[in-house]
Amino acid sequence: MALETRPVTDLKGVGPSLASKLEKLGITTVQDLLFHLPLRYEDRTRITPIAELRNGYSSQIEGIVHDSRIEMGRRRSLLVQLQDDTGRIGLRFYYFTAAQKNQLTPGTRLRCFGEVRLGRTGLELYHPEYKRVNEGEPLPVQDRLTPLYPTTDGVHQGRLRQLCEQALELLERHPVPDYLPQSLLDELQLPPLNQAVSTLHHPPAGADLDQFSLGIHPTQQRLAFEELLAHHLSLRRLRASIQHHRAPALPDRGKLSQEFLARLPFALTGAQLRVVAEIRQDLAAPVPMLRLVQGDVGSGKTVVAALAALQAVENGTQVALMAPTEILAEQHYLSFSQWLQPLGIQVDFLASRSKASVRNQVLERLARGETQILIGTHAVFQEQVRFAHLALAIIDEQHRFGVHQRLALKEKGANGSSTPHQLIMTATPIPRTLAMSAYADLDTSVIDELPPGRTPIETIAIPDSRRNEVVERVRRACLEGRQVYWVCTLIEESEALQCQAAEATAQQLQEQLPELQVGLVHGRLKPAEKAAVMDAFKQGEIQLLVATTVIEVGVDVPNASLMIIENPERLGLAQLHQLRGRVGRGNIASYCVLMYHPPLSHMSRERLKIMRETNNGFEIAERDLELRGPGEVLGTRQTGLLSLKVADLERDKGWLETVRWAAEQIETDRARTDALIRRWLGQNVRYGQV
């Protein structure tokens, strides 16, 4: 039986109980076990002289117990002094038994393994593993590095090592198929699969531990390449499966768009015009458009989306625009209504909090085809929402929804007989590395030019001990006719996190600044209350708006030129950049004050430093990827991408162009690509078929 299908229960000692625990680690077959690779390794292949021990490194030593005693410091501990011909070191045990103490007596020879740390007596080993060495019976050292595997409750290292040993014995007799063509392996100078797997479980003595810890050993790179290739192939297959469906061809008729552009008080940038041309060409074809539009904060993505919507409407079809938050959806609704209703276009709004009567009216107009553009939140995905002829779905901030919901849209096409075109927009610039990997099923357009007249935002970081100075700065800005955002990172009071609640902050600021009109907006307000506050702020009736991060995207008030962000250390770079983008939208000098609570962690210091150094969203995205890794940057909803076992998108980005090329070489071989995707994605392969 092939190891890919051979159940792990075939191995000695694996019953139903252990099998269910192994399943939590994603291990159900012998092949799964072979691809459950070590996190790191311990070197027990040599005895290190005590004089050569280094702080922070795990080492194996052997020596004679010189002294053993109980110390009564802050915590009672057993300290054993071990010496060899080169020096002496302490072995410290905080948890020990009387039998252990009686065993570790002077003159006893021990073999120990543990991490060397600086302790009370100098270098010490805390709770080392140890074995007694009997006179005339020397213990052999291991001939290879010792693997340390990812574990789960009830499955310890020793058990995993035993099981992997059994799996490796089976591998010798039943090699795992290598699905990469030999010509490709030769060209890329990659080792064979079975050799790579065996080496990763059993690196030989003398292997470069630093290479393994950095993930750059040739055997790791062999598997990382194959894993990236499998993910890329699955996304290409997803794209092909969607484009296999028919979509309504929507030629550019031009009349509505010309009228719309003539009414705009500004001209489009070159970047906007380029992206509009790419979208127009896609929409005119009878295959579903799959296009991602990236643009930094304030680059004008909404206008581009409006022009795409007009092209669909002019062909007698409907458009859905979805945003992840009600505030952003409401902002889009206001913009589209203001721009398009004068052109005679029916724009409707739908959110989960919409009143039943209003909701029913919208659903009826939508089903009859009277609603030409529907704007809303995830409520648009709901089953009872039926379109007469949906031809274009525009999804804003796609990473907030995830692949499943985006793909569910094809069911909203006209009676399921055609698939809507998809335009995905994000103001969170995606590093090229991630765009090539996470969005390989999409064509990508970038609006890399800001409208003229935008002024760079100056960002400063100060401790909250200078809060009174900041309040005075707010007073001066408002008295000069400007408006200010004050962003809090929590709604509820939390002394432990030392964050000011938005409500308490608004009240406190109103007391300190009685001459100003202070408004408050947060996620718990009813939509009507939220809209009223935002409208008052836009009209200039409110000078200082205290808000939570609900204003992260979509709020456009050109007169707002100062933003205070409290406790910015609680937010990620992308979110900080989005918030900062609410100012600097006019032609006046704008400022963002990051008011942090010291002391800052290393990660927080780095984030604030990056925010001070650049306003470029793409540069910030790249730096964010370096700091946090792809999982957090994309968000956990990106099912199917975050289960990378060996590869690391930042470390292995050098492979991505080669991966794309290799995918083109082998994707016509259906059996080979099926097997590769199944090996690396397993059950997750369904995410491309929702």
**For residues 590 and 579, is the Cβ–Cβ distance under 8 A?**
no
pLDDT of 413 reads 65
**For residues 70 and 179, is the Cβ–Cβ distance under 8 A?**
no
* Backbone CA torsion sign across 402, 403, 406, 408: negative
Q: Which stretch of 432-436, 541-545, 577-581 has the lowest confidence by average pLDDT?
A: 432-436
Rounded percentage of the chain residues whose pLDDT exceeds 90: 51
* Backbone CA torsion sign across 23, 28, 32, 33: positive
| Residue 317 CB-density burial (10 A; 0-12 exposed, 13-18 middle, 19+ buried) | buried
440 pLDDT more than 90:
no
pLDDT of 686 reads 42
| Stretch 322-339: mean pLDDT | 86
| Stretch 617-644: mean pLDDT | 60
| Stretch 365-391: mean pLDDT | 90
Cα distance between residue 487 and residue 494, in whole Å: 16
Residue-wise pLDDT for 91-103, tens only, equals 999 989 988 889 8
**Res. 437 pLDDT band, cuts 50 70 90:** low
Q: Which stretch of 358-372, 413-427, 515-529 has the lowest confidence by average pLDDT?
A: 413-427
Cα distance between residue 366 and residue 384, in whole Å: 11
Q: 3-class DSSP state for residue 546?
A: strand
635 pLDDT more than 70:
no
Which residue did the predictor score with more confidence, 440 or 131? 131
168 pLDDT more than 90:
yes
572 pLDDT more than 60:
yes
- Whole-angstrom CA distances from 528 to 353, 355, 620 are 10, 11, 35
Residue-wise pLDDT for 217-241, tens only, equals 999 999 999 999 998 898 888 778 7
pLDDT of 443 reads 85
622 pLDDT more than 80:
no
pLDDT of 495 reads 34
| Stretch 115-137: mean pLDDT | 90
Residue ranges and CATH numbers for the domains of the chain are 8-42+147-214 (no CATH), 50-141 (2.40.50.140), 255-447 (3.40.50.300), 457-614 (3.40.50.300)
**Whole-structure pTM value:** 0.66
Task: Residue 351: name the closest of 319, 376, 321 by CA.
Answer: 376
| DSSP per position, 180-227 | S-HHHHHHHTPPPHHHHHHHHHSPBTT--HHHHHHT-SHHHHHHHHHH
Q: What is the mean pLDDT of the chain?
A: 86
Report the DSSP beta bridge partners of residue 431.
Answer: none
Report the DSSP beta bridge partners of residue 294.
Answer: 426, 446
